[in-house]
Amino acid sequence: MALAVFLAVASLLVYRHQKRKRQAAELAQQQTARELQRAQKEINRFIQKVSEQNSLVETFQAELHRFKDAGSNEKQILEKTLSELRSSTILTGEDWLYFRQHFATVYPDFERLLKGKYPTMTESELRYLMLTRLGLSHKEMAQMLGISTDGVRVTWNRVRKKMGGTLAQSAQQLLVSEGL
């Protein structure tokens, strides 16, 4: 009889222990899902901010063309505002670290796999591929980074050569072919 009671108590203890482990695993999984969702929202918010700034820049550029021949005070004000907007779209080191952290949460293996296959990949090439992974155009990248579209194209050409891509491939296609 004592053996039966002992076995029942032991079984109950083992059951409770297993149940607690399952609950802890479920909580950890839910927490990870929340963190992933939050990081995706942050990346989307970041891209939306850049997109809004790009629209403002384009609006101001259109206004500048309207005042092109005027030589007025309004033109100088618009030029100054446009310059300020352009500088606000540049990713500072702090902005880039913030972005990179959230990107790594959404795409945890992207940078590790890329650096593993291509250890000579530079920071600017990595940045280009991360922004490509998010589906940004060369124009959006240039405005976001505060560089010319030619600068983005040069980076793309360096990336394409390092990764063995063809002229016919887009950056997105190259990433897909690499499993990134």
pLDDT digits (tens, 9 = 90+) for 18-72: 888 898 888 888 888 888 888 888 888 877 777 777 676 666 566 656 655 555 6
Spatial CB neighbours of 33, under 8 Å, sequence gap ≥ 6: none
Q: Which of 23-32, 60-69, 74-83, 88-97 tops mean pLDDT?
A: 23-32
List Cα–Cα distances, 89 to 4, 46, 86, 140, in angstroms: 72, 11, 5, 10
pLDDT digits (tens, 9 = 90+) for 159-176: 999 998 888 888 888 888
> Do 180 and 129 meet the contact criterion of CB atoms below 8 Å apart?
yes
List Cα–Cα distances, 159 to 50, 122, 165, in angstroms: 24, 9, 8
